[in-house]
Amino acid sequence: MRIVVAMSGGVDSSVAAALLAGQGADVVGLSMQLYDQSGEQAFGSCCTLDDLHDARRVADAIGIPHYILNFEQQFQETVVSNFVREYVAGRTPLPCAHCNSELKFATLLDRARGLGAEQVATGHYARVDQAPDGRWLLKRSVDPAKDQSYFLFSLTQDQLARAVFPVGALSKVAVRAEATRLGLGVADKPDSQEICFVPDGDYASFVAAQAPAVARAGAIVDQRGDVLGSHGGVHRFTVGQRKGLGVSSSAPLYVLKIEAETGRITVGSRNALDETALTASRVNWVSIDAPPGWIRVAAQIRHRHRAATARVRSLGDGRAECVFDEPQSAITPGQAVVFYDDDVVIGGGWID
Amino acid sequence: MHRIYFDHNATTPVHPAVADAMSVSLKAEFGNPSSVHHFGQQAKAAVDRARSAVAELIGADPSEVVFTSGGTESDNFAIRGAAEACHRAGRRHLVASAIEHEAVLHTLKALAKLGSTTTTLLTVDETGIVSPDDLRAALRDDTALVSVMHANNEIGTIQPIADLATIAHEAGALFHVDAVQSAGKIPIDVKALGVDLLSISAHKFYGPKGVGALWIKRGLRMLPTSTGGKQERNRRAGTENLTGIVGMGVAAEIARGRMAVDSGRIDGLRDRLESGILQAVPRTTLNGARTPRVSNTTNISFDRVEAESLLIALDLEGIAVSTGSACSSGTLEPSHVLKAMGLPTHRTQNSIRFSLGSASTEADVDRTVAVLPGLVEKLRNLSRAPVRV
């Protein structure tokens, strides 16, 4: 059976490809070129020209065909434009999740099927399993420090049925050791940035370059509404942010709320960031159907958040309500909330 | 897997006799052609033999042939060298067709960026053939050089070079022809074409990569684009690529001898492939005029199929074709040639070039025609809206 491996040139997808090829699968390596590589406008830290060359080299080393697909337009239209739109709307986007569900397991999967492959493998640290009733399950990887199931919550049953994560059952240490053993030449490459197309981490400049109108001055106010200062645009802020506020205060101040329409940024003390409840939209239920009543879960609200005990219920219309047992700091609109039962993803949605 | 190679316009396999000659030369002739002693004389003689063979392929005098590193250098040398020489006479305008190879187009762009020249590009209609009237209209008092390719690399159409050269000369402009895709495929006679400069490349006619030639009409004033030693009659500095030049000479000799027979046979295979695909695969369109066209090339658009995917699907079946032009990473961009012909996006992004060669067989053609409908159908079934959540 033919299987496509999405190869970024990094160690994880390289080992994923090598493992599948080693099992005797008919493996085809595909790399996505996501940005203009002509030189002047090149940006990004993942899938740069060097990474594409690495992917090609690895494919050659393990003896599989490899092709580079030009996905610049699709990447811009789905992932980058959403990233910019979210910041303009005063939210904090999660582009990796969009890239997974709308590019890797959508456009790339379609391309793979056109080439006679029914599955797409990636280098994600997560596991796919099938329940006795045939339902596809998404699980955390065995390496909790590397787990990426949070970024995969929005995969549908159809997408999970076609997803293969060969390194999900390995630790990062084991993956690097495997790359060394196989002589893939990528064993010591550093882990990629969380947001590959803004390698310098300067999201504000990136957003302003794509949507200049966002750089509109606004007020920084305290919880009473008193103006403490001004700022150069809502895209410069994320909930929970402390640095770069440009206002002085005796106690440290944190961003509590971003209002895109008025341009108002509300700041306050760290305690004021604590909240117990959230609602989410475009919820994808993975291991169960939408639960009409409360169920117990562990809910994770950002990539580096330790999932906290909570109850959750469906509100219908793709929405859900989640109430934590203990207050959580900096629940951030635009990020995902993912519900777990131990290591099984129950579902997840986008925080309102 | 038996692999079928239908990408001869990208490059051709080296002819065994060429490889043999290169191997012998590489082992036996190491001298520097510029050296006075025996070893130098031996190497110099080898270069001269090759020069004569190349000159014969294009009906030129050996003294007019300058060896280069390939088609791209030849094009650069022709345009930059002539532009610079003409600049002193106040001629600062360059004309080319919009379907030229990047070696020409990007050189014009680079010169225009320097601010010393202006450029006019001649668009073509959907036949892919440059119109003499368009050239006439584009010429100016200060036109230095007109550059039009002999045969187009993507669609194979042959341009009316002799007519165009006459028109250019009437306006006092020089004429360069990029003959990289025609040399070895159709007879070339530089005198009959009436041009001033002509570029060729060895690896397009079963010679090695990294060697080509620029024919410079005797008496034409050209400034060298590289300076150093006095090689190639002071026109191209640098120690000669002896092995490559020897290979090019043998390839030129073989091409001249086999051209008539080969092109008739390949022409038949190409037509069989072309009509086979147009009949077997629904909603396919031939791009460019059927004639005049080099015998080995056909370019076909497959409606609602991304060419990128079809190329990969064919390669996984062991059939090598091409589409558009590859960019630095190896991904594909819509063909500038088809764009210049005014074709709509859906046709420029769905086009596949099949270019046959001397090793192509009827079995290769028939297998390709047999495999294509299934691959295309699979891709068409999937070109729907992607899975959404």
Question: HEC string of chain A?
Answer: CEEEEECCCCHHHHHHHHHHHHCCCEEEEEEEECCCCCCCCCCCCCCCHHHHHHHHHHHHHHCCCEEEEECHHHHHHHHHHHHHHHHHCCCCCCHHHHHHHHHHHHHHHHHHHHCCCCEEECCCCEEEEECCCCCEEEEECCCCCCCCHHHHCCCCHHHHHCEECCCCCCCHHHHHHHHHHCCCCCCCCCCCCCCCCCCCCCHHHHHHHHCHHHCCCEEEECCCCCEEEEECCHHHCCCCCCCCCCCCCCCCCEEEEEECCCCEEEEECHHHHEEEEEEEEEEEECCCCCCCCCEEEEEECCCCCCCEEEEEEEEECCEEEEEEEEEEECCCCCCEEEEEECCEEEEEEEEC
Residues A89 and A234 in one domain: no
Q: Indicate the CATH number for domain B16-254.
A: 3.40.640.10
Q: Determine if the peptide bond prior to A132 is cis (ω within 30°).
A: no
Render pLDDT for B319-364 as a digit per residue (tens, 0 to 9): 999 986 555 555 667 789 999 999 988 888 899 999 999 999 999 9
- Answer whether A157 touches B (CB < 8 Å): no
DSSP string, B281-327: SSSEEE-S-SSSB-TTEEEEEETT--HHHHHHHHHHTTEE-B-SEE-
Pick out chain A residues at pLDDT < 50: 39-42, 45
Q: Would an 8 Å CB–CB cutoff place B331 in contact with chain A?
A: yes
Average confidence (pLDDT) over B291-307: 94
Domain of A249, CATH number, reads: 2.30.30.280
Tell whether A250 is within 8 A of chain B (Cβ): no
Whether A171 and A221 map to the same domain: the answer is no
Tell me the residues of chain B between 332 and 351 that have a Cβ less than 8 Å away from chain A. 332-333
Nearest one of B128, B131, B129, B100 to B119, comparing CA atoms: B100
Q: Is 90 exceeded by the pLDDT of residue B285?
A: yes
- With contact defined as beta carbons under 8 Å apart, do B197 and B73 qualify? no
- What is the overall mean pLDDT for chain B? 93
How far apart CA A242 and CA A268 sit, in angstroms, is: 10
Q: Are residues B178 and B101 in contact, defined by beta-carbon separation less than 8 angstroms?
A: yes
Q: Does residue A38 sit in the same domain as residue A166? A: yes
Do residues B74 and B204 make contact, with C-beta atoms less than 8 angstroms apart? no
- Which pLDDT does position A182 carry in this prediction? 92
What is the domain count for chain A?
3
Locate CATH 3.40.640.10 in chain B.
16-254
CA B229 to chain centre: 29
Question: Residue A188: inside a domain, yes or no?
Answer: no
| Whole-number pLDDT of residue B132 | 97
Tell me, yes or no, whether A28 and A99 share the same domain: yes
Write out the residue range of the structural domain in which residue A62 sits: 2-181
Confirm if A130 and A139 have CB atoms less than 8 A apart: no
**Rounded mean pLDDT of B101-130?**
94
Smallest CA–CA distance from A159 into chain B, residue:
B387
Domain containing residue A173: CATH number? 3.40.50.620
Give a yes or no: residue A189 inside a domain.
Answer: no
Residue A108 counted as domain residue = yes
Contact B387 A109 (CB under 8 A): yes
Residues in chain B closer than 8 A to A107 (CB atoms): 386
Best CA proximity match to B292, nearest among B104, B205, B135, B163:
B163
Q: Which of residues 270-299 of A touch B (CB under 8 A)?
A: 282, 284
Residue identified by tokens 């402009």 is B173
Q: Is A161 on the interface with B (CB under 8 A)?
A: no
**CATH code, residues B4-11+259-382:** 3.90.1150.10
| pLDDT above 50: residue B385 | no
Residues A96 and A13 in one domain: yes
Where residue A345 sits, what CATH number does that domain have?
Answer: 2.40.30.10
pLDDT in tens, B239-262: 999 999 999 999 999 999 999 899
Residues A252 and A323 reside in one and the same domain: no
Q: Whose structure tokens read 């570029």?
A: B199
A87 and A223 both lie in a single domain: no
* 3-state SS, residue B23: helix
Cβ–Cβ of A282/B382 closer than 8 Å? no
Predicted pLDDT at B89: 86
Closest chain A residue to the Cα of B381, Cα to Cα? A114
Residue type, A181: R
The CA-based angle A300-A301-A302, given to 5 degrees, is: 100
Nearest by Cα to A34 from A70, A7, A58: A70
- DSSP one-letter code for B244: H
- Mean pLDDT to the nearest integer, B137-144: 96
The answer as to whether A85 is a domain residue is yes
My answer on whether A142 and A7 are in the same domain is: yes
Judge whether residue B66 has pLDDT over 80.
yes
In a domain, residue A238? The reply is yes
User: Does one domain contain both A151 and A231?
Assistant: no
Q: Give A178's contacts (C-beta < 8 A, 6+ positions apart).
A: A15, A18, A19, A170
B307 and B351 Cβ atoms separated by less than 8 Å: yes
Same domain, A61 and A164: yes
* pLDDT score, position A40: 44
Alpha-carbon distance A160 to nearest alpha carbon in chain B (angstroms): 12
Q: Does B316 touch chain A (CB under 8 A)?
A: yes
Q: Which part of chain B has CATH 3.90.1150.10?
A: 4-11+259-382
Q: Tokens 């280069």 label which residue?
A: B68
- Checking if the pLDDT of B218 tops 60, the result is yes
Pairing of strands B212-216, B65-68: antiparallel
Rounded-to-integer distance, Cα B116 and Cα A217, Å: 45
Q: With contact defined as beta carbons under 8 Å apart, do B127 and B154 qualify? A: no
Cβ-contact B198, B177 below 8 angstroms: yes
Q: Say yes or no: A165 and A249 in one domain.
A: no
Average of per-residue pLDDT across B131-141: 97
Listed residue (A84, A87, A96) closest to A34, CA to CA:
A96
Is the CB of A70 less than 8 angstroms away from the CB of B388? no
**pLDDT number for residue A30:** 96
CB atoms within 10 A of CB A199: 15
Q: Do A114 and B327 touch (CB under 8 A)?
A: no
- Is A107–B386 a contact, with Cβ atoms under 8 angstroms apart? yes
pLDDT (mean) for B186-208: 98
Interface test with A, best of B310, B321, B387 (most A CBs within 10 A): B387
B375 φ, ψ (degrees, to nearest 5): -65, -45
Strand A344-351 vs strand B297-302: parallel, antiparallel, or unpaired? unpaired
Question: What proportion of chain B, given as a percentage, has pLDDT over 90?
Answer: 86
Residues A207, A209, A211, A217, CA torsion sign: positive
Are both A129 and A264 inside the same structural domain? no
